[in-house]
Amino acid sequence: MATTTDTSTTAQAPGVTWLTLRINRREYRFQVDARVTLLDALRENLGLTGTKKGCDRGECGACTVLIDGRRVNACLTFAVMQQDREITTIEGLAHGDQLHPVQAAFIEHDAFQCGYCTPGQIMSTVALLEEGQHRVGGRDPRVDEWQHLPLRCVPQHRRGHSTDC
Tens of pLDDT along 59-105? 999 999 999 999 999 999 999 999 999 999 999 999 999 999 999 99
pLDDT tens for 95-132 read 999 999 999 999 999 888 788 889 999 999 999 988 87
CATH, domain 16-155, list 3.30.70.920, 3.40.50.1820, 3.10.20.30, 3.90.1170.50 = 3.10.20.30
What pTM value is reported for the model? 0.74
DSSP symbol at 157: G
Nearest to 154 by CA among 98, 103, 124, 115: 115
Judge residue 57's burial from the number of C-beta atoms within 10 Å of its C-beta, 0-12 exposed, 13-18 middle, 19 or more buried. exposed
Domain spans of the chain, in order of start: 16-155
Pairing outcome for strands 86-88 and 64-67:
antiparallel
Can you tell me whether residue 11 is helix, strand or coil? Answer: coil
